[in-house]
């Protein structure tokens, strides 16, 4: 189950999308989220869907892989679809079963909202699937850099994110170890009433927290010894390179925004 989940995972490959600058990808995704809300009819959604499918195709990831990996999200989308059908009460009645009536507007809304949701999930997954977490962090730091002028801690935020990412597997291992140690001492975490099970988590969390603080202290010492004194005067090992393809990608997005707003406001 967890292995098939692709939400937030990185799939190494060498496509044009993988090679894009993380800054471009971040801007791209956030802009896309805004642009998709311009679409207000089936044609506009069709164009946005074609655009999304083209982006997925360029990344070398198959739509089938995306859908099977995003199964829990798909269920959520299906659920919204059903809710929309039943609860919108506008337009012509399409079906009247007495205890529930389905209106034309309901079907329209259901299709549009679930398409919008689907396209957003596809695009954001595309970002995480084609970009390593560290690149996303680097990209974010670089994009947030101008905010340093208003004292926004861009470097600290990025460093915190990368350290958090680096320690996830370490802390997972540790949780596993503590859990086994507590089980060996007779603690039962998987059966009994909910209250007991919640209580059983306490002897798991406390050692985990104590160790995490100890690790943090050690790490701070190690960082200080290696000359870390804040973001001031630091150079970067990983350089971000903005290529023509990044400009092109954003350019196609502007065209999409143009088409969608034309369809919305002038047609």
Interaction of residue 221 with another protein, rule CB under 8 A = yes
**Alpha carbons 39 and 24: distance in angstroms, whole number:** 23
Name, in order, each residue with C-beta under 8 angstroms of 262's C-beta and a sequence gap of 6 or more.
none
Nearest distance, CB of residue 164 and another protein, angstroms? 10
The one among 148, 166, 177, 243 contacting another protein by CB under 8 A? 166
Interaction of residue 76 with another protein, rule CB under 8 A = no
Nearest distance, CB of residue 216 and another protein, angstroms? 9
| Nearer Cβ to another protein (201/240) | 240
Q: CB-hemisphere CA count at 13 Å for 216?
A: 8
**Alpha carbons 125 and 140: distance in angstroms, whole number:** 17
- φ, ψ of residue 224 to 5 degrees: the values are -65, -40
The one among 50, 222, 250, 254 contacting another protein by CB under 8 A? 222
Interaction of residue 223 with another protein, rule CB under 8 A = yes
101 touches 81 (CB < 8 A): no
DSSP H helical segments within 16-132, as ranges?
Answer: 16-19, 22-36, 42-59, 63-69, 71-87, 104-130
| Nearer Cβ to another protein (65/167) | 167
The region of 116-124, 179-187, 200-208, 217-225 touching another protein under the rule CB under 8 A is 217-225
| Nearer Cβ to another protein (190/235) | 235
Helix (H) or strand (E) holding 150: none
**225-254: contacts with another protein (CB under 8 A):** 225-229, 233-239
| Nearer Cβ to another protein (169/186) | 169
Residue 241, Cβ density class (10 Å: 0-12 exposed, 13-18 middle, ≥19 buried): exposed
Interaction of residue 155 with another protein, rule CB under 8 A = no
Q: Which two tokens stand for residue 171?
A: 């802390």
Name the site residues for another protein (rule: CB under 8 A): 133-134, 162-163, 165-166, 169-170, 173, 214-215, 218-219, 221-229, 233-239
């Amino acid at each position: 189950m967890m292995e098939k989940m692709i939400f937030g995972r990185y799939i190494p490959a060498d496509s044009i999308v993988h090679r894009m600058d993380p800054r471009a990808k971040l801007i791209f995704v956030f802009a896309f989220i805004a642009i998709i809300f311009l679409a207000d009819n089936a044609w506009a959604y069709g164009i946005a869907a074609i655009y999304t499918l083209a982006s997925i195709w360029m990344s070398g990831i198959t739509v089938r892989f995306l859908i099977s990996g995003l199964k829990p999200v798909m269920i959520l989308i299906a659920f919204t679809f059903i809710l929309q059908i039943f609860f919108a009460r506008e337009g012509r009645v399409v079906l009247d079963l007495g205890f529930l009536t389905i209106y034309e507007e309901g079907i329209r809304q259901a299709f549009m909202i679930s398409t919008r949701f689907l396209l957003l999930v596809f695009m954001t997954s595309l970002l995480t699937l084609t970009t390593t977490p560290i690149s996303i962090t680097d990209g974010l730091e670089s994009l947030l850099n101008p905010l340093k002028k208003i004292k926004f801690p861009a470097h600290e935020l990025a460093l915190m994110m990368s350290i958090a990412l680096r320690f996830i597997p370490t802390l997972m291992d540790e949780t596993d170890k503590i859990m086994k140690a507590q089980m060996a001492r007779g603690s039962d975490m998987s059966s009994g009433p909910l209250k007991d099970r919640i209580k059983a988590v306490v002897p798991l969390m406390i050692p985990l927290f104590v160790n995490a603080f100890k690790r943090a202290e050690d790490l701070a010492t190690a960082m200080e010894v290696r000359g870390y004194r804040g973001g001031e005067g630091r150079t970067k090992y990983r350089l971000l390179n903005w290529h023509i393809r990044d400009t092109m990608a954003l350019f196609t997005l502007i065209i999409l925004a143009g088409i969608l707003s034309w369809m919305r406001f002038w047609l």
